[in-house]
Structure 1
Amino acid sequence: MKKIFIYSAVLLSLIASLSSCKKTIDKNYNNPELSTKPIISGFFTAMLNSDRVRPAYWNLRTFFFPQISVYAQTTTFDNVSTAYKHRDDYIGQYWSDFYYPSGNGSGPMAVYRAMQASYAALSKSDQADQLVYMEAAKIVLAERAAKMIDIWGDIPFTQAGSLETTSNIKNPVFDDSKTLYNSLISDLNEAATYFGGVKLAGNVQSAFNKADILNSGSVLKWQTYANSARLRLLMRISNVDEATAKAAVTTMLSNPTAYPLVDGANNGSYSPLSSDILLQPLTTTTNSTLSSALVEIDSYWAPDYKLNKVMLPSNDPRIRVMFDKYGQTVSGKFVPNKTYRAMPISYGSGQQDTAFFKYSIVDSATFINNIKMPGIVITASEVNFLKAEAYERWGLGDASAAYNTALKQSITFYYYLNSIGQGTEAAPTTTEIDAFLANSNINYTLAADQTHKLALIYTQKWLHFGFLQSDEAWAEYRRTKYPALTFPVETATDYQNPPTRLLYPTVETGYNTNYNTVKAKDTRTTKIFWDVN
């Protein structure tokens, strides 16, 4: 892929950049008179249409699987000396895809700045009609900017995109990560408040329905998305600023009517399609992007800790839709392995290459060949795990009930993915699920103390994220230090262990003179501000 050397003050021409969007986007991007002048609803649709959110080949193959997923141990990896060394070009492409609408991302920062400029030029009455797009875009930008902070720490934000908003080009400063995180939390609260009270006119609602490829114009889903993303960020800062997090979370969880969440109505047998925030594929294809991404760098083997240490001991009903026993061909006949088991993470690269067929791989229907796999933004299971943590730490509710609901919803979610991938696995019975919840390895009420109860919550949330949400899994692993993963110590100089953050890519450091203000912190061992355990 062609490397584009740019710095984050300069925005590419949006009309030219967005011309590569799919025809579905093109129809929404220009106004009904087929003018070439972009409209805010079109910018909004383009902002949502991101292959950094969907499980697209390039994002998984170049960013998640060789780096983020390795550090979170959500996939397997070749156990070679450079296993923990990142690729600057791949990192730079992910970074650029946040700031610019080209390549594989939708450039949410650039698009949002263009929306701001277009919105400011409207009349007051037109602004009232277009405000719904600005508030929804604010949620998307906040959620994705938080991911950037979780990966790098300080990032250019408040001054990024100056060309669009001020007609001046300047090197943007790196915003302090903690201050910016708190600002994003505030933005999410403002947007949730807006969606909690807005009543859209018929013509505005109709246009919003068409432009909104994420939530189909549902005002309620945008409110739950904002509240749930805010809950995620509040819990992430809860170890470094517990007072702020506790106060805000207490307010939210004590009034579910005013603060609805993506929680599936706390029903274990919920509908992921109607409740979760999922970015569906826009086009029909016969080829799975997951297949090549998983297989090309041996990311399809079952992870050791996940299967051997967590799922098998508890007889987890998700095993049969997450993994395949695999096997080998003997005398022209495929002979499956007798049991599920993962290859030990201690195996070196040579041993991996000769023994992998003896061990399980990820399921083909659920993952490898699933052409309908959506991009996962936030799910009910994650939200209930967040609630369980808050209930346990601060005595706000029934932590055991929230934990069990989250587990049931995770089961429902993965069987849903299997079903849309044309899988034929029958859903587990109530008896099987009850036996799973009663298993001593995951039973909440049998946990010895609060430390062990929180460990159950953190580990099961990490398991639920899996490789499709490796960024969230890595962030939560660094925050909580669970699960208790072990990593092989590699031999490459300066890369013996996984990092605690990514280094800034040269597409930014080579052009933004303000990099000098953060250069001292730009190390693999610098911790993100919320990483204090």
Structure 2
Amino acid sequence: MKKLIINISFFLVAVTTIVGCKKDVASKYNNPEKAENASLSGLFTAMLNNDRVAAKYWNVRTFLCQMPGVYAQTSYFPNSNSVYQQSDSYSQNYWDDFYTTGGNGSGSMALYRAMEAKFKTLSTSDQTAQATIMQAAKVVLIEQAAKMVDLWGDIPYSEAGSLETGSTIKNPKYDDQKVLYTGFIADLATASAYFKANATNKDFAKADILLKGDVGQWARYANSLRLRLLMRISKVDEATARTAVLDMLNNSATYPLVDGGNNPSYSPGTSDILLQPLTNSTSDLHAAFLEGSWYATDYMLNTVMLTANDPRIPVMYDKYGRTQKINGQDVFVPNKTYKAMPITFSATDQETNFPDYSVLDSATFLFNQKLPGIIITASEVNLLKAEAYERWGSSASAQTSYETALRQSVSFYYYLNNLNQGGGYVNLPAPKDSVVNVWINSSTASYTGSSANKLTNIYIQKWAHLGVLQSMEAWAEYRRTGFPILTFPSDGKLSGFDTPPTRLIYPSTEKTLNSANYQAVQAKDTRKTKIFWQQ
């Protein structure tokens, strides 16, 4: 069915660095990190070519699987005494990669500020011609900035990048997180309207390595991101969210979404917002996962999926097994069933028993050089729609969106599996409709019971769909909704770090270099302070 890695120690100590491939981008466009007069299109391409979005080693290994994935239990973690303690150096890396270029991200803020400065120098006619690129860049910036807010709360934003825009160095203030979200939501509405009213152009199409200049897709992207942010604030500002979301859902022609056309058997590669690997990329995520995060997570597999006979299991997990001596030969004997190690296992239990439990699928996740960076998918959008309908509209409409989302999630994960062609991997065909129907209609995933039960299923299935590759979104949704109800072992943990945080602490270098502005947010800088959208 798939390749397995045999005789791998539970904890690998070697760290393998995989460098993102950007050579072909630099050869086509001015490199914004080196060129004295970088083009607007070159800056935009560099902004899109973000290793914090792409499926790359450093982001998955040092950030997703170290912090958000642990706190949301979408990533497996060794049960050490410091497992819930934030890594200051790795969170500093992530912070820096948003604000500056030259790291493991694109430096979204720095590049956008450079684009603003460049745009101001253009003639009126050239500004009109380049407005599409600026609108798209704003959407990209907002998507990344919203993640920063979800992680830290108040962040420098309006005054960040002053050297690019004003030729002066100014330590930026921390903008209020709620005010930022309000601005993001408004700016996304503006961007969507722009894309609906304007055609693409060749410069934009050439620079756009994400959506190939498809303004219709950019409108869907902007609207879907806006829907995500509106639902995120909906527990604390329900009136605002309800009005805006229902307006979107009741006017689908004005507000098209990344919903796969509500087709269960949709095409993720053309419908979803995915950052495909560059054509010369040969990297994969095997080192990122094999260094400690390879194993199936307890609640995800044992409680959510196995009890429902979830059809996604074969492309998300492998049964794994042990190497045994048979007739004098080393023979790998697979486990008979899928199962995850209990979350209550001690580090010793984990080290001793790991071969008897399931691992992430090697074809889908570990050795898949075609694995895209996932920004937003049809399944997530339809689950957001389902929540909105169940809370504020028709439960029947909610059920339709929910069941469509589950079918689309199956399509999505089999799509990821089938991207990995060759190399000895046997790609799995999508399950028959009858199998999926049983899961949706006659299992614990079925849309039945009270409205509260239905919402619980929506929240859990969204968390499951987001999974390890979208651990930041999964952690945000877990904090917002409170579901699933997870157990976090606390025995033997470091004092003050016996449970996961509700936000990240500001990185130490930021507190030192921007100390005057940090004073304004210092009182809120605790690991148990809630992000504003959390009840």
Does the alignment reach a TM-score above 0.5? Answer: yes
Match of 2:407 in 1: 408
Match of 2:495 in 1: 493
Superimposed CA distance per residue, residues 277-305 of structure 1 (whole angstroms, 9 cap, x where no aligned partner): 000111434442x1000011x21110000
- Measure the CA separation in 2 of the matches of 1:450 and 1:317: 25
Of residues 488-497 and 142-151 in structure 1, the stretch that sits farther from structure 2 once superposed is 488-497
Match of 2:379 in 1: 381
Residue 318 of structure 1 aligns with an amino acid whose one-letter code is R
- Measure the CA separation in 2 of the matches of 1:96 and 1:400: 42
Asked whether the 8 Å contact 1:342–1:360 carries over to 2, the reply is yes
Q: Secondary structure in 1 aligned to 2:42?
A: helix
Superimposed CA distance per residue, residues 234-255 of structure 1 (whole angstroms, 9 cap, x where no aligned partner): 0000011001001100110001
Q: CA deviation at 1:36?
A: 5.5
Match of 1:520 in 2: 523
Superimposed CA distance per residue, residues 467-511 of structure 1 (whole angstroms, 9 cap, x where no aligned partner): 000000000000000011111114201110000000000121011
- Measure the CA separation in 2 of the matches of 1:275 and 1:257: 16
Q: Secondary structure in 2 aligned to 1:117?
A: helix
Q: CA deviation at 1:21?
A: 7.4
Match of 1:419 in 2: 418
Asked whether the 8 Å contact 2:21–2:278 carries over to 1, the reply is no
Q: Secondary structure in 1 aligned to 2:338?
A: coil
Match of 1:304 in 2: 298
Asked whether the 8 Å contact 1:30–1:36 carries over to 2, the reply is no
Distance 1:28 1:131, change over 3 A: farther
Match of 2:465 in 1: 464
Q: Secondary structure in 2 aligned to 1:388?
A: helix
Matched, 1:241 2:237: yes
- Measure the CA separation in 2 of the matches of 1:371 and 1:293: 13
Asked whether the 8 Å contact 2:24–2:280 carries over to 1, the reply is no
Asked whether the 8 Å contact 2:268–2:415 carries over to 1, the reply is yes
The within-5 A match list for 1:248-397 is: 248-288=244-284, 290-296=285-291, 298-331=292-325, 332-395=330-393
Q: CA deviation at 1:101?
A: 1.2
Q: CA deviation at 1:68?
A: 1.1
Specify which of 490, 510, 513 is matched with residue 511 of structure 1. 513
Q: CA deviation at 1:55?
A: 1.5
- Measure the CA separation in 2 of the matches of 1:165 and 1:285: 33
Q: Secondary structure in 1 aligned to 2:126?
A: helix
Matched, 1:437 2:440: yes
Q: Secondary structure in 2 aligned to 1:377?
A: strand
Matched, 1:228 2:224: yes
The within-5 A match list for 1:184-195 is: 184-195=184-195
Q: TM-score, normalising length from structure 2?
A: 0.92
Residue 199 of structure 1 aligns with an amino acid whose one-letter code is A
- Measure the CA separation in 2 of the matches of 1:21 and 1:59: 15
- Measure the CA separation in 2 of the matches of 1:461 and 1:318: 14
Superimposed CA distance per residue, residues 12-44 of structure 1 (whole angstroms, 9 cap, x where no aligned partner): xxxxxxxx972322234339xx98521101000
Unaligned runs of 5+ in 2: 1-19
Distance 1:311 1:84, change over 3 A: same
Count of aligned positions: 503
Asked whether the 8 Å contact 1:366–1:417 carries over to 2, the reply is yes
Q: CA deviation at 1:320?
A: 0.5
Superimposed CA distance per residue, residues 295-332 of structure 1 (whole angstroms, 9 cap, x where no aligned partner): 11x21110000000000010000000000000001101
Q: Secondary structure in 1 aligned to 2:402?
A: helix
Match of 2:50 in 1: 50
Match of 2:72 in 1: 72
Asked whether the 8 Å contact 1:28–1:41 carries over to 2, the reply is no
Asked whether the 8 Å contact 1:28–1:211 carries over to 2, the reply is no
Distance 1:123 1:382, change over 3 A: same
Q: Secondary structure in 1 aligned to 2:308?
A: coil
Of residues 500-509 and 423-432 in structure 1, the stretch that sits farther from structure 2 once superposed is 423-432
- Measure the CA separation in 1 of the matches of 2:232 and 2:220: 18
Residue 500 of structure 1 aligns with an amino acid whose one-letter code is T
Q: Secondary structure in 2 aligned to 1:66?
A: coil
Asked whether the 8 Å contact 1:392–1:399 carries over to 2, the reply is yes
Asked whether the 8 Å contact 1:340–1:359 carries over to 2, the reply is yes
Q: Secondary structure in 1 aligned to 2:85?
A: coil
- Measure the CA separation in 1 of the matches of 2:188 and 2:136: 10
Asked whether the 8 Å contact 1:42–1:211 carries over to 2, the reply is yes
- Measure the CA separation in 2 of the matches of 1:60 and 1:529: 26
- Measure the CA separation in 2 of the matches of 1:162 and 1:243: 36
Of residues 351-360 and 423-432 in structure 1, the stretch that sits farther from structure 2 once superposed is 423-432
Asked whether the 8 Å contact 2:338–2:358 carries over to 1, the reply is yes
- Measure the CA separation in 2 of the matches of 1:321 and 1:93: 32
Residue 457 of structure 1 aligns with an amino acid whose one-letter code is I
Q: Secondary structure in 1 aligned to 2:323?
A: strand
Asked whether the 8 Å contact 1:28–1:210 carries over to 2, the reply is no
- Measure the CA separation in 2 of the matches of 1:156 and 1:218: 31
Superimposed CA distance per residue, residues 117-165 of structure 1 (whole angstroms, 9 cap, x where no aligned partner): 1101111001001101100000001111000000000000000011111
Query: Percent identity of the aligned residues?
Result: 56
Q: Secondary structure in 2 aligned to 1:335?
A: strand
- Measure the CA separation in 2 of the matches of 1:485 and 1:41: 45
The within-5 A match list for 1:18-167 is: 22-30=22-30, 37-167=37-167
Q: CA deviation at 1:369?
A: 0.8
Q: CA deviation at 1:450?
A: 1.1
Unaligned runs of 5+ in 1: 1-19
- Measure the CA separation in 1 of the matches of 2:177 and 2:247: 25
RMSD between aligned alpha carbons?
A: 1.4
- Measure the CA separation in 2 of the matches of 1:343 and 1:30: 49
- Measure the CA separation in 2 of the matches of 1:274 and 1:460: 23
Q: Secondary structure in 2 aligned to 1:370?
A: coil
- Measure the CA separation in 2 of the matches of 1:182 and 1:418: 38
Residue 315 of structure 2 aligns with an amino acid whose one-letter code is V
Q: CA deviation at 1:66?
A: 1.3
Q: TM-score, normalising length from structure 1?
A: 0.93
Q: CA deviation at 1:111?
A: 0.5
